[in-house]
Structure 1
Amino acid sequence: MELLISLLSGLSFTLLSYVFLFHLYRDKITVQSRLQQVGSLLSWRKKYLDEKLSQPFFERVIRPLLNLVAEKLPKGTRAADSKQKLDLQKKLLMAGNPWDLTAGEYLALQYAMMIGLALVCLFLALPSGASPLVLVLALLLGAILGYLLPNYYLGVLATRRQEEIQDTLPDILDLLTVSVEAGLGFDAALVKVVEKSKGVLAEEFSRLLQEIKMGKPRRDALRDLGLRSGNEDLQTLVGAIIQADQLGVSIGNVLRLQSAEMRGKRKQRAEEKAMKAPVKMLIPMVLFIFPTLFVVLLGPAIMQMMKTMGN
C-alpha cells in the first residue's frame, strides 16, 4: 500500500509539474510552433521558386500566357473545339513539335503574332503622316504576315526534318540490318542504332523504344513513327516491318531488301539533282555572268565605234 501511495504521489506531482510548466511556457511553445510552421512554409516556397526560376523563360512566362490566350479564344476558333486541331497537331508532329507546343498554344501564338505585327506596322506608318487608308493597309499587312510567318516557319522545320530523315535513313537502315543479321533481336538492334547514331531519326527510334517499354504494342508504335515522320520512305519501311511481323517473315531479309531499295532511291535522287543543276545554274549565268562578259568583250569595241563616229 505504501508503494502504491508513493507511485500515485509521484505521478500526481509529475502531472502537476507538467501542467504548471505548460501554463508558464504556453505562449513560448505556441510561438515556437508557429515559427516552425512559417519556416517550413518559407523553405517550401523557396524550393518552389528555385525550381520555377531554373526553368527556361519560355516555360515560365510565354507558355502560361499562351495557355491563357488559348482559353480566352472564342469557342468556334479554339483549336480544341474546331477542325483545325488534327491538322495543326499533325503539322507540329512533322515539324518535330517545336517547344512542345500544343495545337491550342500554337493557335494562340499565331493570333498574338498577328496582333503584334499589325501594331508594329501601324507604329511604323504613323510617323510618316500617312493617310487613314495607308494605316489600314499597314494593319492588314502586319496581320497577314503574322498569320503566314508561323505557318511558313513550321513548314520549313517540317521540310528540313523530312530531308534529314531521308538522307540518314539508308545508313541507319544498314546499321540496323547488320545488327539483326548478327543475331540481335529487333528491339536490341534499335537500341544499338540509337547508341551509335545521332540526329532526328535516332531520336525517333529512341522515342519508339520508350513507347514499347511503356507497354504500347510494337505495331502501333511503328505506325505512329511513320505518321510523325511524314516521310514516304520511312513509312514504307514501317509498313514492311509490320507486315513481316504479322506474316512471320524474317525481319533480316526484309531489312536487307529495304536497305538496298533505299540506297537505290538515294542514288536516283542524287542523279536527279545533278541533272537539274545545269538548269538552275542558267539563271545566275544569264543575270550576272553573261552581262559581265558582254561588258568586258564588247565594251572596248563599242567605245571605239562611238569615238570613230564622233570624229
Structure 2
Amino acid sequence: MNLVALGVVALIVVIAAIVLVIVGLRETRDAVDPLEARMAEYVDVENLQSLEQIEMQQPLTERVIIPLARRLGEIALRFTPQNALEQTAHKIELAGSPRGLEPTTYWAARFGAAIGVAAFLMFIYSIGSLNWSLGRKTMLLVVFSVIGFYIPELLIRSRINRRQDTIRKAMPDALDLLTICVEAGLGFDGALAKVTEKWDNELSLEFGRVLREIQFGKLRREALRDMADRIGIPEMTSFVAAVIQSEQLGVSMAKVLRIQADQMRIRRRQIAEEKAQQAPIKMLFPMGLLIFPALMVILLGPAAVQLMRSALGGLFF
C-alpha cells in the first residue's frame, strides 16, 4: 500500500513538473525581447528588404555603368603616368568635382567614348553600302576614335571655364559682404560663414569648404591657399595673398577687403569691355557663312530671275 501511494505521489510530481516546464517554455517564448521591441518601434519588419532588393532598386547607371566605368578606369590608370594622374585630379578640382567625378571615372569616360565612337562607325559600316577601301575606313575610324577620346576633355574644360567665370563675377559682391560683416564686428571666419549662409553658388561652396577645413584643424592660410589652387584664377590668388599678408602684418582686414573689392570690380569691368570688343570679330564667321548668303539670295534673286527672262538673259540661257 505504501508502494502504491509512493508511486501515485511520484506520478503526480512528474506530471506537475512536466506542466511547469511547458508553462515556463510558453511564457519564455511569449515574452517580448526588449531589444526586439525597441527595434520594432523604428523598423517595420514586414517591409524589411534584402541587400539584393535594395541594390535592384538603384538606377542602372549606379548598379552597372558606374562600377564598370570605375573598373575600366582602374585598368587605364595602370598605363597612365603619375604626372598625368596628378594633372587629372587637379583638373577635376578646378571643375568643382562634378557629381563626385574621380580620375578613374574620367579616364574610363575617355576610353569609353573612343570605343563607343569606333563601335558606332563599325555599325554604320555594317549596315551601310559604302564602297570605300579598307584603308580609308580604318583611317576614318582612327580619326573619329581620337575625337571621341578628347570629347570628355573638352567637356571638363568647358566646365572649368564656366565655373571660373561664375566665381570671377561673384567675387566683388562677396568681398563687399565680407567687408560689411568685418566692419560690423565679425571675425574673418564669421564673415565667411555669413557669406556661405546667404549665398548658394560656387564661391560660397568654396568658402564653406574653407571653414570646414579650419574646423578640422587646418591653418587658415593653408585652407585659403588650397582654395586658390582649386579655383585657379589670378583674382582669387591675389585675394588670398592679401588676406594672409594682412593677418601676418596686423593690417586692418576691413581696409584690405575693401581695396580688394574695388580691384575686383575694376577687373570685372575690364573683362566685360574686352568681351565687348571681341564681339564683332566673333560675329564675322556666322555673318559671312549664314547671314550674307541668305541676304544676297533675297536681294539678287529677283534680279536674276528678271535677267533670265529678259532678252539679254536669252543670250546666255
Q: Report the TM-score, using the length of structure 1 for normalisation.
A: 0.76
The residue that corresponds to 1:156 in the other structure is 158
Counterpart position of 2:312: 309
- Determine the C-alpha separation between the residues in 1 that align with 2:310 and 2:269: 58
Structure 2 distance, partners of 1:117, 1:246, is: 55
Q: Which moved further from structure 2: 289-298 or 262-271?
A: 289-298
SS in 2 for 1:83: helix
Q: Tell me what 1:119 maps to.
A: 119
Q: 1:47 to 1:187 in 2, by over 3 A?
A: farther
Q: Which runs of 5+ in 1 are unaligned?
A: 1-11, 30-35
Counterpart among 63, 68, 72 of residue 66 in structure 2: 63
Kept in 2, the 8 Å contact 1:120–1:142? The answer is: no
Corresponding residue for residue 93 of structure 1: 93
CA 1:52/1:224 → structure 2, altered by over 3 Å: closer, same or farther? farther
- SS of aligned partner of 1:215: coil
Moved more, 268-277 or 189-198: 268-277
- Distance in 1 separating the partners of 2:47 and 2:301: 83
SS at match of 1:76: coil
Aligned counterparts of 1:215 and 1:117: Cα–Cα separation in 2: 47
Structure 1 partner of 2:147: 145
Q: What is the 5 A alignment of 1:78-227?
A: 82-130=82-130, 131-227=133-229
Q: What's 1:270 paired with?
A: 272
Structure-2 separation of matches of 1:297 and 1:203: 57
Query: 1:100-132: per-residue Cα shift (whole Å, max 9, x none)?
Result: 122122112222222222111111112224443
Residue 257 of structure 1: which of 246, 256, 259 is its match?
Answer: 259
Q: How many Å separate the matches in 1 of 2:305 and 2:196?
A: 67
Conserved? CA contact 1:122–1:135, under 8 Å:
no
Q: Using the alignment, how far apart are the partners of 2:120 and 2:258 within structure 1?
A: 56
Q: Distance in 1 between matches of 2:79 and 2:20?
A: 69
Count of residue correspondences: 284
One-letter amino acid matched to 1:99: R
C-alpha displacement of 1:50: 6.4
Query: Relative to structure 1, is the Cα distance of residues 308 and 146 closer, same or farther in structure 2, using a 3 angstrom cutoff?
Result: closer
Q: What's the secondary structure of 1:46's corresponding residue?
A: coil
Give how far 1:161 is off: 0.7
The structure 1 residue matched to 2:248, chosen from 224, 237, 246, is 246
The question of whether the paired residues in 2 share the 8 Å contact of 1:121 and 1:141 is answered with no
Query: Aligned with 1:148: secondary structure?
Result: helix
The aligned amino acid for 1:46 is: Q
- CA change 1:60–1:173 in 2 (3 A) is farther
The percentage of counterpart residues that share the same residue type is 37
Using the alignment, how far apart are the partners of 1:307 and 1:179 within structure 2?
Answer: 80
1:248-278: CA deviations, max 9, x gaps?
2221111100000011111111222222233
Deviations 1:172-210 (A, max 9, x none): 111111111121111111111112222111111122222
**Alpha carbons of structure 1 residues 298 and 146: separation in structure 2 relative to 1, 3 Å:** closer
- Output the amino acid matched with 2:72: V
Amino acid of the residue matched to residue 101 of structure 1?
L
